[in-house]
Structure 1
Amino acid sequence: MNHKLHNQIVNFIWGIADDCLRDVYVRGKYRDVILPMTVIRRLDAVLEPTKEAVLQMKANLDSAGVINQTAALCNVAGQAFCNSSPFMLKDLKSRAKQQQLKADFIEYLDGFSPNVQEILEKFKFRNQIDTMIEADILGLIIERFVSPTINLSSEPVLDDNGEIKLPALDNHSMGVIFEELIRKFNEENNEEAGEHFTPRDVVELMADIAFLPVADKIKDSSYLVYDGACGTGGMLTIAEERLHQLATEHNKEISINLFGQEINPETYAITKADMLLKGEGLQAENVAYGSTLSNDGFPTNSFDFMLSNPPYGKSWKTDLERLGGKGDITDTRFVVTHNGEADFKMIPRSSDGQLLFLANKISKMKHNTELGSRIVEVHNGSSLFTGDAGQGESNLRRYVIENDWLEAIIALPENMFYNTGIATYIWVVTNRKAPHRRGKVQLIDATSLKSPLRKNLGNKNCEFTPEIRTQITNMLIEFAQNEQSKIFDNKEFGYWKITVERPLRLSVDLAREKLADFNSICVAQKETEIMTVISELAEKLQYTKINDYNLFVSELSKVADRINVKLSAKRLNLIRNSLAQTDENAEKVIKKIHKAGKIDANDLYGLFTIDVDGKTCIVEYEPDVNLRDTEQIPLLYIGGIGQFLKDEILSFAPDAWVDESKTQIGYEINFTKYFYKPVELRTLVEIKAEIYELEIETEGLLEQVIGRRK
């Protein structure tokens, strides 16, 4: 269907909303009538050629006393659905009385088969009938939808000479019209950026990326295609068409089963209708309603190809609560075993659940077939870098990359989508990488590959032409290095996040005024015994400042033992909090001394040794939380953490060490880093020439402004 005809039909249907609903519904509610009526008219037009045969079959079945008539009537209709009422939609436009029109219209709706009834239920369309009857607009709306000036049928309208007056409207084109109508309604309602539909040119690129790299591996077989955020089903439709086309080109006989899930009732209803219109009644049963995250419609299925454009930047708090809360999620799609960790969580922050859709698809990959599974999914930029090491987003990137499933990421131009202009990226994930791709990830910068639209569609101001799609797909298949295609080892994107500790240094001030304050504290906490110990030690040390906290505690213990006072941990904390203070000139506070042979110095970074009774022992110092720092070290850093510590830290802080218990592995992908092109600075010659030109241009200007000197 050409764009001109597409726009004519969309504008015609939009005109029905403006002409018929303006004084009855607010603009945000137009969709409640227009979308279901568009579906009903499409179904009605498809059923029209076989209407008489269906009614005759119904009469025969009624005479025979047959109760379950749906299968037989659908067979006569030649579709996966039917309507057994005595009416066509055009029969209802000329009712003189509104109540008769209401009764006949309800009878007409009731005549649809159960699969269409579910569609009407999801639209909640019956709730609108009374409003339209009371406003006396139902007949007018029907009349407009059956107008002979547009054709919503799958068959062309011919003129008296047998020439095509109005071309047929295939299911693909009908899907385009649905999505354009929804886009316009979303635009009217100022819906958020995540509530958008994927443009057909982007979907076609995604289909090419999914299928072309493995086109020579397609066999005479059955293939399962899945979209966990299927919207109106456009991605599934195009994927099916593209896969069939490739199979034909390779002389293969294949069957394709489509599966999808959608949480929005309207778009779910449109997807079901689209499946029914294709004559694929069983396929329509493969579309699940509800949240993919908290109510997976296909928990035991695995799929050959999976394509999606999930919502991004959208909260999933409701799903999080249904799954049991962040700390209690046990869903094996999001909590897996990886690298020896049995409870490896890939759960992102509750404000953005986009990566959970990718995790869901990864859990549905086939691992026992030659082709395996290919996933092609659109995300925004935050999926590449959001989340620190050990957090859900980073863990998912780590899980995918360390399993060597990430084939490529493709950066798309901005303003490719209807309701958002933000940067977007296509992830290509497969568990059957070609041998020359193993251990590698390809990044493709396609941000400059676009063709401007003659007229913007919402935020969308550019598109992928077939030539551009071919160019991008060829870069993926050729797997070559150039300005727009970079190839990296998997570990390029990984890093260790280490915690660098510095020792705590404490001094103790035993001046009389400090002891007076401490005495007040002891009295208040009924710890007068402690004051006795401190007073005796202070007198022994002549009320001086002690720069070695370890020595202070040792001497304190001696005094306490001698006068039989127990130094509990609580009492030691009281003394430390009241009398000790950090002091960069003080000695380091010892946490623990390990006797020789008790600990392997090669197991930890930055351990120190001391002599104890002539024996070398390893000592752990107590860290100063105020001096604690973190560093990110690339996994490809030569020599690893130990060498980094020597090269970058110990030369500035020789007393520092790394707390290995806090080391985390993270992954992030910084596109800007790999494709950044610095602005070329002008040469001194160019700058000098420009200055001379400015001098010439401004010569005499000052005198003109302030007047000549007299």
Structure 2
Amino acid sequence: MTDNNNILQYESRIWATADLLRGCGIKESEWPSYMMPFFALVMIESRLIRMLDELTAEIGEAELADLDAEDRMTLIQDRGQGYNKFIFERNLTLKDICKNDKSFDNDFEAYLKGFDGETRDLLGVEATDGEKFLDIKGVIAKLKAKKVLLGYTKEWSGIDLKPFDNSAITTLEEHIKRRWADISAETAGEQYTPDDVIGLIAEIIASKIEDSDRLLKIYDCTCGGGNLLFGVEDRINAKVQRLTQTFGQDWNDALYALAKIESRFRLDSKIEHGNTLTDDKFYNDEFEVVIANPPYGVSWKGYEKAIKDDKTQRFQYVPSISDGQLLFMQHLISKLSEQGMGVVVHNGSTLFSGDAGSAESNIRKWMLDIDIVEAVIQLPTDEFFNTGIYTYLWVLNKRKSSDRLNKVMLINASEKFKPLKKNKGSKRKEIDETSRLEIVETLARFVDNDYARVFDKEFFYFNKQGIMLTNVDEQGRSFASHLKDGKTSLKLSPIALDNGVRSLTEFTITDYDAAKFDSLADLYEQDIKPFVDSLDYKDQPLVVTTDKAVYSFDSDRETIIKQSGSKREELGCGKIVVKSAFKKASKTQAERIEITVELTPDYQKDYEIIPFHRDEVANREAIAAFMAKYITKPFEYLENVVGVEINFNKVFYKPEKLRSVEEILGEIASLDQELQKLEKLIIDN
């Protein structure tokens, strides 16, 4: 096994190839699209040559040489890792091609066309329209136009990866892809998973896996270039004796191509291209391990119809169209085998976005209802390369031990890191090995400590209890007491309506001032309707006169007043509702504007957030006790919706220690003395 650390010396050499790109005016943000296909070339070439060396060692150099070209090529093809006729038949490499500038163009074209069909497709050797993957054809055209193709290819041909095995090259590839992610202007939604987070995920998974001869199938539904998928596999293989098989899918052409190329040099790996949410390439498969770092806050509007029409029953609820994280979460849960477990990276929105009854809350509730969430781990800020936000690991487990059933552990690992000596973009911290092992041990012990707590899952549930309040005046009276049974309002027959600024005395208006308005409808839209809509019986001295009484609202006493001659009566808290409507002409009536007034009780819909109890009777009693303690007005129960929210700040909040009054007064006195000295100094000068 080659030392992986030794290969990292090549990182700077690979990055130096970008000097030529800079020199010919190519923007830094475009470098990855130029570097990816050439990195793929040298990676493929090195592995093909290693493969040929291994084949030679197995069969023998003389025996292999005795085979004709067709039989030799068949042996190579049977290994399923691709081939290149130019390399194997002419024994020429990329470095050899670059030695002769006169034949370079023809040789380079023959070299690229010498690859097997799948490799040519992944590189984009013959790409026209449609999927171009690494689009080396387009890159070559641009480099030719700038007259630097030979020089650029020569830079890459000097990078010899043949001495290194697959694991070492994967390590290098992860470092290079991380730097590409750092400069390619990706949003915070498109995250490259750092090595230390991959290490933590792998440690969590490995801690739950035993040595066995049973196959372990590992799946990443947003695998990108494969760094998380293959990184977890390599770390698991280093810790556990288990045969592994990896499965991944991604929609990004170039990253899919890199992952696909990588997969061919692994023992058993399948990578597919496409949108996991609308075209699951592994629809018939289940997996023992699922992992993913899906996009954060990325809209799925472009394929909304396909999601809503999905027939797979993966999606219990459809979350907000602005963020698809919980779609991926539901998909992953649907892919877990009977004994499956997983670790999924999310930002904080999946913990608390959406009110009770929303799709987001319902998805969280569904996850806890089926008892698949074992833990949620808060990672430090500044962990990822292009965002400083908190991120979280959801640990899923379909085979919880009996002592963990219906329980969830929260681990606040936000302080479990060491600062980087040199920042990498927004990444300023890393979860070092000591911290990783401590976090895994905390999860394994599953008991409270100073940064972790275990809860019954219902701790995260809450009642959102709807109620209809009846507002009352200072005497505790409501206008509802003046209504006849079955009536919701008292309709008045007004003869005047006055708000202290304007008075209306016609409540069925049938004519208009033609000098001001074009029609009765115009009068309604321009004058009557705005006036009526502006009326506020609480903030204005609104007076409604009928032929029997005058009605108004006393804001100080919060009651409707009825004045009949000299008799003043308080009717209780209520509303004075004034409405207007334009009525078109009918067979029996001309067009008109009608103004109506009703007195109604003052009802107010409200919601109370109340802790949840697992037992239904206890839950009802808790709601009733809450109402008795905190609600003083008459009310009726409306719908009760149970929501779920996971709030790290609430659980791990540490109040800031307040300074004593004596300390503050002493500081003020000290500042006052300093100000007096400065003032004296100014006066003396």
Q: Same fold (TM over 0.5)?
A: yes
2:429 to 457, 462, 471: 462
- For 2:320, the aligned partner's letter is R
- Determine if contact 1:172/1:237 at 8 Å carries over to the other structure: no
**2:449 and 2:649 mapped to 1: Cα distance?**
16
How far off its partner does 1:218 sit? Answer: 4.3
Aligned to 1:14: 15
Per-residue CA deviations over 1:523-554 (Å, capped at 9, x if unaligned) read 999xxxxxxxxxxxx999846669899xxxxx
Answer whether contact 1:183 1:196 (CA < 8 A) is retained.
no
1:435 is displaced (CA, Å) by: 1.0
Question: Shift in Å at residue 61 of structure 1?
Answer: 5.4
| Aligned partner of 1:259 among 241, 244, 247 | 247
Instruction: State the partner residue of 1:355.
Output: 326
Please name the residue that 2:155 is paired with: 144
* Cα distance between partner residues in 2 of 1:80 and 1:454: 39
**In the superposition, relative to structure 1, how do residues 242 and 11 fare at CA in structure 2: closer, same or farther (>3 Å)?**
closer
Residues 36-61 of structure 1 show CA distances to partners (whole Å, capped at 9, x for unaligned) of 11111122123336769899979955
Residue 243 of structure 1 aligns to a residue in which SS? helix
User: Residue 361 of structure 1 aligns to a residue in which SS?
Assistant: helix
Q: Contact 1:229 / 1:309 at 8 angstroms: preserved in 2? A: yes
Aligned twin of 1:690: 667
How big is the alpha-carbon RMSD for the aligned residues of Structure 1 and Structure 2? 3.6
- 1:287-313 per-residue CA deviation (whole Å, 9 max, x = no partner) reads 111111111111111100111111111
Distance 2:243 2:328 in 1: 26
Looking at structure 2, the residues matched to 79 and 107 of structure 1 have their Cα atoms a distance apart, in angstroms, of 22
Aligned pair partner of 1:517 in 506, 514, 521: 506
Q: Secondary structure of 2:496's match?
A: helix
Q: What residue is the counterpart of 1:93 in the other structure?
A: 98
Greater helix proportion: 1
Q: Does the alignment pair 1:125 with 2:102? A: no
- In 2 relative to 1, CA 688–133 (structure 1 residues): closer, same or farther, beyond 3 Å? closer
Pairing 1:608-623 to 2, within 5 Å after superposition: none
* CA deviation vs aligned residue, 1:230-253 (integer Å, no higher than 9, x gap): 1221222222223323333xxxxx
**Corresponding residue SS for 1:396:** helix
Mapped partners of 1:226, 1:706: distance in 2: 77
Determine the C-alpha separation between the residues in 1 that align with 2:101 and 2:431.
51
Paired position in structure 1 for 2:607: 630
Check conservation: 1:452, 1:463, Cα contact below 8 A: yes
Give 1:383 deviation, angstroms.
Answer: 0.8
Distance 1:685 1:381, change over 3 A: same
Offset at 1:649? 6.5
Aligned letter for 1:630?
A: Y
Report whether the alignment pairs 1:452 with 2:419. Answer: yes
1:616-641 per-residue CA deviation (whole Å, 9 max, x = no partner) reads: xxxxxxxx4xx212222221399535
Matches of 1:189 and 1:131, distance apart in 2: 18
Paired residue for 1:559? none
Given the alignment, which residue of 534, 559, 579 partners 2:597? 579
Name the CA distance, whole Å, in 2 between partners of 1:136 and 1:575.
80
Deviations 1:623-676 (A, max 9, x none): x4xx2122222213995355435534686443211213xx32210001000000
1:79 and 1:276 in contact (8 A); partners too: yes
Secondary structure of the residue aligned to 1:502 is strand
Task: Report the secondary structure of 1:30's partner residue.
Answer: helix
Alignment partner for residue 292 of structure 2, among 305, 308, 316?
Answer: 308
SS at match of 2:509: helix
Residue pairs, 1:657-676, within 5 angstroms? 657-660=636-639, 663-676=640-653
Aligned to 1:192: 187
- State the shift of 1:314 in Å: 1.3
Aligned length: 579
Judged with a 3 Å threshold, the aligned counterparts in structure 2 of structure 1 residues 687 and 242 are, in CA distance, closer, same or farther, namely same
Q: Offset at 1:90?
A: 1.6
Alignment of 1:272 onto 2:260: yes
1:507-656 map, 5 Å:
507-513=490-496, 517-520=506-509, 542=548, 578-582=596-600, 584=602, 624=603, 627-636=604-613, 639-641=618-620, 643-645=622-624, 647-648=626-627, 652-656=631-635
Cα deviation, residue 4, structure 1: 7.8
Aligned to 1:298: 282
Q: Which residue of 2 aligns with 1:211?
A: 206
- 1:66-108 Cα offsets, whole Å, 9 max, x none, are 8xx8642235xx67222112332122103343xx423321211
Which aligned pairs between 1:85-484 and structure 2 lie closer than 5 A? 85=86, 86=90, 87-97=92-102, 100-121=103-124, 122-147=133-158, 150-153=159-162, 155=163, 168=164, 170-212=165-207, 214-215=208-209, 217-248=210-241, 254-278=242-266, 280=267, 283=269, 286-324=270-308, 328-335=309-316, 345=317, 347-367=318-338, 372-484=339-451
Q: 1:235 to 1:498 in 2, by over 3 A?
A: same
Q: Offset of 1:431 from its aligned partner?
A: 1.3
Code of the aligned partner of 2:356: A
Work out the CA distance in 2 between the residues paired with 1:114 and 1:59. 27
Amino acid across the alignment from 1:378: V
Distance in 2, Cα, partners of 1:3 & 1:419: 26
Cα distance in 2, alignment partners of residues 289 and 387 from structure 1: 32
| Amino acid paired to 2:281 | G
Question: Which amino acid counterpart does residue 384 of structure 1 have in structure 2?
Answer: L
Q: Give the 3-state SS of the residue equivalent to 2:415 in structure 1.
A: coil
Is the 8 Å Cα contact of residues 43 and 161 (structure 2) preserved in structure 1?
A: yes
Moved more, 679-688 or 484-493: 679-688
Q: 1:8 to 1:291 in 2, by over 3 A?
A: same
Aligned residue among 675, 678, 681 for 2:658: 681
Whether contact under 8 Å (1:376, 1:428) holds in the other structure is yes
What is the alpha-carbon distance in structure 2 between the residues aligned to residue 118 and residue 231 of structure 1? 18
Change (3 A) 1:19 1:129: closer
Mark the CA change 1:7 to 1:454 in structure 2 (over 3 Å): closer, same or farther.
farther
Secondary structure at the residue paired with 1:659? strand
How far the C-alpha of 1:315 sits from its partner, in A, is 1.3
What is the distance in 2 between the residues matched to 1:697 and 1:648? 55
SS in 2 for 1:579: strand
Given that 1:518 and 1:579 are in contact with CA atoms closer than 8 Å, whether structure 2 keeps it comes out as: no
Alpha carbons 2:342, 2:395 under 8 Å: kept: yes
Check conservation: 1:511, 1:543, Cα contact below 8 A: no
* 2:275 alignment partner AA: S
Please tell me whether residue 703 in structure 1 is matched to residue 680 in structure 2. yes
Give 1:581 shift: 4.2
Q: Relative to 1, partners in 2 of residues 1:58 and 1:27: Cα closer, same or farther, differing over 3 Å?
A: farther
- SS of equivalent to 2:336: coil
Q: In 2, are the aligned partners of 1:442 and 1:479 still within 8 Å (CA)?
A: yes
| Runs of 5+ consecutive residues of structure 2 not aligned to the other structure | 125-132, 471-478, 481-488, 498-503, 513-519, 522-543, 553-559, 563-588
Shift of 1:418: 0.9
Which structure has more strand as a fraction of its residues? 2
Q: How far apart, in 2, do the equivalents of 1:704 and 1:630 lie? A: 62
Does the 8 Å contact 2:508/2:594 carry over to 1? no
For normalisation by structure 2, the TM-score amounts to 0.76
- Amino acid in the other structure paired with 1:39: A
> Is 2:61 the partner of 1:72?
no
TM-superposed deviation, 1:477:
0.5
More moved, 436-445 vs 692-701: 692-701
